[in-house]
Amino acid sequence: MKENNMMSYEMYEDFKETMVKTIKTELSAKTANNNQSSDNDLSQRLEQIVYTEQERHQAIIIQLAGRLESIEQNYTKTQTGIDNLQASVEAIKIPAELPPRISQHRVIFSSESPFFIYSFHKLHDLVVGTLFRYPTEP
């Protein structure tokens, strides 16, 4: 039983070494072929990347120019409004002496006002006092 295990382990090691050698030779062959074509591909890819980035930057610049134009228009409208407001404020003439302030006194008849509470209390006292003072006879 042990001999079978040892034999299979040795076979596994041989298989592993063979596979590693095969993979290494294939990779070295691919890299040799790729090195020749990769120089051409690399320059083409770089040119393509540069071109796409330039197009993207141009689109961003156009978009930002449109935003800048709308911001400038809003700024001029706002500045015109501020100038008009400043001119109207400066046009207001303030008299040297202001007229005396007129104040009005009001009486508020609400259930929370002290006047109402006091009046209701006095009316209550008057009614209750009258009822106790003159008792009704049967």
Task: Please list the pLDDT of the chain residue by residue as tens digits (138 residues).
Answer: 445 555 566 777 777 788 888 888 888 877 766 666 666 777 788 888 888 888 988 899 999 999 999 999 999 999 999 999 999 988 888 777 777 777 776 666 666 777 778 888 898 888 888 877 766 655
* HSE-up (13 A, CA, CB side) for residue 69: 6
Write down the pLDDT at residue 115: 77
User: In this structure, what token pair is assigned to residue 50?
Assistant: 């540069």
Write down the pLDDT at residue 1: 43
What pTM value is reported for the model? 0.37
Q: What is the dihedral of CA 35, 36, 41, 44, to 10 degrees?
A: 120
Between CA 74 and CA 81 the distance in angstroms is 11
